[in-house]
Amino acid sequence: MFGSLTAILFAGVLNLVGKRLPHLTGEGRLSIGEQDDLLLTAVEEDAPRPHPGAATVAAAAVTAVSLYLVGALAQKLWDFPGPVTMLFLAVALKLGRLVSPDLEQGAFSVFQFFRTAVTYPLLFAIGVFMTPWDKLMAAFSPANVITIVATVAALMGTGFLTARLVRMHPIDVAIVTACHSGQGGTGDVAILTAANRMQLMPFAQIATRIGGAITVTLALAAFARFAG
């Protein structure tokens, strides 16, 4: 919980740094020289864009629910994490160009609705009703705070410093890396909201789900190798 809070604060600071040093950020784009997606460009520049019909939006919502159900089924049958399965399927559909542009427009409309109407009530509900404040305060000691802040800072600093090596914007990469310290999907929402970069949500989900699974696997392997 405190790690997620630390990541939120650092993300907000990086957003301010990006305004002072614009050459370090792509304002929601990871790769240097990357062209904005048509959908994101229209939103960011308030440009007119076609509005998908109700049927298209409904079809996009049904597609998303179907991917979620396939992920839940995979978790039930093979104990493979459902969100990771859903991400792999979504990436496969995108790379294979199996989703029509109209359906992508509908999916983006669904995303915009949830970003506008659901994000802040969700954050409020989590903060007020679901946060274990008693456990959080019990763990609030100088040693824990220093360890957590150092861990989150190391993660984000590594992303920031290595971004240029792979031709990416340091601030945006560091913000995505910060999501590695968040509390799942809700943590991603909070961190990206603090950084004003909700368009990085797909990358944040990959960092949280797939990156988290890789981290846990490596940690368990190291524990099994050196703990005895």
What pLDDT score was predicted for residue 132?
Answer: 67
What pLDDT score was predicted for residue 44?
Answer: 46
CB 72 within 8 A of CB 61: no
What pLDDT score was predicted for residue 101?
Answer: 80
What pLDDT score was predicted for residue 126?
Answer: 64
Q: Under DSSP, is residue 71 helix (H, G, I), strand (E, B) or coil?
A: helix
The residue segments making up the domain with residue 170 are 2-226
What pLDDT score was predicted for residue 74?
Answer: 84
The domain total for the chain is 1
Query: How far, CA to CA in Å, does 210 sit from each of 60, 90, 191, 216, 224?
Result: 24, 13, 18, 10, 21
Q: Give the whole-angstrom CA distance, residue 195 versus residue 11.
A: 5
What pLDDT score was predicted for residue 33?
Answer: 67
The closest of 189, 171, 169 to 179, measured between CA atoms, is: 189
What pLDDT score was predicted for residue 56?
Answer: 81
- DSSP one-letter string for 94-158: HHTT-S-HHHHHHHHHHHHHHHHHTHHHHHHHIIIII--HHHHHHT--HHHHHHHHHHHHHHHHH
The closest of 14, 24, 36 to 168, measured between CA atoms, is: 24
What pLDDT score was predicted for residue 40?
Answer: 47
Q: Give the whole-angstrom CA distance, residue 177 versus residue 155.
A: 6
What pLDDT score was predicted for residue 130?
Answer: 63
What pLDDT score was predicted for residue 194?
Answer: 85
- DSSP one-letter string for 191-208: HHHHHT-GGGHHHHHHHH
What pLDDT score was predicted for residue 43?
Answer: 44
Q: What is the mean pLDDT of each run of 10 residues along the chain (228 residues)?
A: 86 90 84 57 48 78 86 83 77 80 80 71 67 70 88 91 88 89 76 84 78 78 77
